Structures are given as C-alpha cells and as structure tokens.
Amino acid sequence: MAELPGVGLITGAGSGIGQATALAFVRAGCTRLSLADLNAQGLENTRHQIAEISSEAQINLAAGDVTSVEFVDRLVDATVAQFGRLDYAVNAAGIIGPWANSQELKLEDADRVMDVNYRGTFLCARAEVRAMLKNEPTGPDDIPGQRGAIVHIASGLAFVGRQGAPAYCASKGAVVQLARADALDYSKDGIRINCVCPGLTETPLGTNNNDPATLKALEPVLALHPLGRWGKPREIADAAVFLCSMRASFIQGHALAVDGGHLAA
Ligand SMILES: NC(=O)c1ccc[n+]([C@@H]2O[C@H](COP(=O)([O-])OP(=O)(O)OC[C@H]3O[C@@H](n4cnc5c(N)ncnc54)[C@H](O)[C@@H]3O)[C@@H](O)[C@H]2O)c1
C-alpha cells in the first residue's frame, strides 16, 4: 500500500523544499497532485523531474500568487474538479525578504513577507480544509479515519530570532500558531494540521542562490546546527510526507523541527 494513496496539493512547488516535496510525494505513491507556484518555469521543471520518477503521475500545474484569494480558491476547486477530492496539502510557498532590522526594513517589504508567508498560508489552509471536510474519513481499521492532513513549512525562526529578519521571524511564528489553532478547531473533523520547521536548507532562498557573501554571513548560524551542515530539501520533504501519512495519525498541532539539532542547542 502506498504511503500517500490520495490526492495532494503543494504550494511553492517550483523550487527548493516545495519541489523536493512534490518528488517525495510521487515516490510515496501519490499519483494525483496539484502543484502551485508564482514561477511557471519552475513548475514545468518539477513536472519534468516527476516524469522521470513515474509515468503514471497526473499533475495539475497552477501558476499564481498564494496571497490572492481568487487564485487559492480556484487552485483548490480545480484540484477537486480534476481529481475528485483533496487529501494532503503542503504549504511551502514563502519568501525571506531583504535582510534589514526594523528601522531599515521598508514597510512594503515587511508587509509582503507577512502576506506571502502568513496570509498565503492562511488562505491555502482555509481552502484546503473546506475541501477536506467533504471527504469521508478513511484509514486503517484499527485507527479512527482521517479526512485530510495539512503541513505548513514554517521555520526554526518561529521559535528563535535571527538578526535582520524581524518580519520573517514574525511571519513564521504566526504560521505555527495558525496551525495550532486550526488543529484545535478541526480535530473533531478528522483533519490534522502540523508544521515542519526547517533549519538552514540548501535552496535558492536558503543560500540566496549560492551567493558567497550570504554563505559567509550564515557561517555563525550554521555553527548553531549541531549536525554541522546544511539540510537537503529532500530531508525536509520526507518529514512533510511523514506528517501527511497515516504513520503520523496521532500527531496534531505539532511543529516538528527538522534542523540538524538547531533548536536543541
Ligand atoms: N531554505 C531554508 O533554509 C529554509 C529554512 C526554514 C524555512 N524555510 C521555508 O521553506 C519554504 C520553502 O522555501 P525554500 O527554501 O524552498 O525557498 P525557494 O525560494 O527555493 O522556494 C520557494 C518557492 O515559493 C514560491 N513563491 C514565493 N512567493 C510565492 C507566492 N506569493 N505565491 C506562490 N508561490 C510563491 C517561489 O516562487 C519559490 O518557487 C518557505 O516557506 C521558507 O520560508 C526555508
């Protein structure tokens, strides 16, 4: 039996952690998948990589902005129209914004970080829950069935601060609290909502496209990761697969650090 036999939706699927999650979903047996991102070219690249893993996967690509109510509602409606239901969602779309303290950060940049990271996740979660509420609960005979599972890709910076990232830290704290509150509201409906909180991860966002100055500036942060290295996107993706699967059937409202020990230090 596939780990993820149902229908999935992943945002931010054109790059980094979202893209790795799309590939991990297909490896876990999810063959009906909606992928969303601002970057249409990135989505095509993900589709191409999926085709190398599975010839059976049916992929719906949606290029658009998760801060738009219309885009998000259309994305979820199109997923249900094409595949009949929605079982798992991973909300990975996110931005870090310019590095600046609160005095220097432009208000429009701070607002955009909150809009993409918090508002975008909120809009996706509420549309995803709306679709999942229509499912009949399913699962193994000895465990109460679930209607759906949602994972937000938050950050260790929901729990510890980072210089020069006030809006980003605030937005990720908001995402974790959103997941906790939604978990309380939708437990009775059999919908699980959790977060994965990555540490430094080798993606265009994490490394600023391998910019040497960024990598140098992050050396002290890397030193706070006891495993002493950057995470790979697929190591974050595997945690998202786990939390969506029935192996995590009793995990609810949790923020799982996948960070080489950063938060333990
Ligand atoms: N890389 C890290 O070190 C790290 C650490 C902790 C948390 N995270 C979080 O992981 C998530 C994924 O980031 P990543 O590192 O893979 O970055 P990434 O830049 O490689 O991927 C993010 C994707 O989100 C998309 N996106 C951005 N704004 C969007 C919008 N408004 N609508 C739709 N799509 C949008 C981008 O086009 C991009 O494809 C983010 O939420 C990020 O905050 C990353």
pLDDT, residue 141, reads 86
Cα(155) to centroid(ligand 1), Å: 11
Residue of the nearest CA to atom 17 in ligand 1? 205
pLDDT (mean) for 142-169: 97
d(CA 202, CA 184): 33
Q: Structure tokens of 89? A: 């969602």
Q: Has 172 been annotated as catalytic? A: yes
The alpha carbon of 193 and the centre of ligand 1 are apart by a number of angstroms equal to 19
Domain limits at 159? Answer: 7-264
d(CA 251, CA 246): 10
**Residue 157 Cα: closest atom of ligand 1:** 6
**Which class for 209: exposed (0-12), middle (13-18), buried (19 or more C-beta within 10 A)?**
exposed
pLDDT for res 238: 98
Q: Residue 244 has what pLDDT?
A: 98
Sign of the torsion formed by the C-alpha atoms of 4, 66, 13 and 92: negative
User: For the domain that residue 107 is a member of, what is the CATH number?
Assistant: 3.40.50.720
CA distance to 15, 102, 208, 262, 265, per residue, from 222 (Å): 22, 24, 15, 9, 12
- Give buried/exposed letters for 89-113 (b at 16+ CB in 10 A, else e): bbbbbbbbbeeeeeeebeeeebebb
Single out the catalytic residue among 172, 186, 188, 216: 172
Which residue would you say has higher pLDDT here, 142 or 11? 11
State the Cα–Cα distance between residues 252 and 265, nearest whole angstrom: 25
**Mean pLDDT on 87-99:** 98
Q: What integer pLDDT is reported at residue 265 of this predicted model?
A: 86
Average pLDDT over every residue of 26-38? 98
Q: What is the average pLDDT value for the chain, to the nearest integer?
A: 97
pLDDT at 140: 86
Nearest to 12 by CA among 135, 96, 101: 96
Residue 143 alpha carbon to ligand 1 centre in Å: 34
User: Closest residue (by CA) to atom 43 of ligand 1?
Assistant: 94
Q: Which of 88, 106, 134, 168 is catalytic?
A: 168
88 is catalytic: no
State pLDDT tens for residues 210-228: 999 999 999 999 999 999 9
DSSP-assigned states of every residue in 50-105: HHHH-SS-EEEEEES-TT-HHHHHHHHHHHHHHHS---EEEE----------TTTS
**pLDDT confidence of residue 187:** 98
Specify if 243 maps to a domain: yes
Nearest-angstrom CA–CA distance, 120 and 125? 9
Probe residue for ligand 1, chosen from 10, 11, 17 as the CB with the greatest number of ligand atoms within 8 Å: 17
- pLDDT, mean of residues 107-132: 98
Closest C-alpha to 16, from 232, 263, 251: 232
158 Cβ contact list (under 8 Å, min separation 6) = 169, 172, 173, 175, 176, 195, 197, 255
Ligand 1 binding pocket (C-beta < 6 A) is 11-12, 14-18, 37-39, 42, 65-67, 92-95, 116, 120, 153, 155, 198, 200-201, 203-206
* Residue 251 belongs to some domain of the structure: yes
Residue 189 has pLDDT above 90, yes or no: yes
Helix (H) or strand (E) holding 34: strand 32-37
User: 96 C-alpha to center of ligand 1: Å?
Assistant: 8
State the pLDDT at residue 18. Answer: 99
In a domain, 1, yes or no: no
* 234-257 per-position pLDDT tens digit: 999 999 999 999 999 999 999 999
Note whether residue 2 is domain-resident.
no
Which atom of ligand 1 is found nearest the CA of 156?
6
pLDDT confidence of residue 191: 98
For residue 1, is pLDDT > 90?
Answer: no
* pLDDT at residue number 185: 98
91 within domain boundaries? yes
- For residue 80, how far is its CA from the centre of ligand 1 (angstroms)? 24
Q: What is the mean pLDDT of residues 85-108?
A: 98
What is the total count of domains within the chain? 1
Mutational pocket test of ligand 1: of 61, 95, 118, the residue with most ligand atoms within 8 Å of the beta carbon: 95
Q: What pLDDT, on the 0 to 100 scale, is given for residue 139?
A: 85
Residue 265's CB is within 10 A of a number of other CB atoms, namely: 11
- Give per-residue pLDDT as tens, 39-68: 999 999 999 999 999 999 999 999 999 999
> Do you know the residue count of the chain?
265
Spatial contact of 28 and 7, defined as CB atoms under 8 Å apart: no
Residue whose C-alpha is closest to residue 259's, from 171, 218, 200, 207: 200
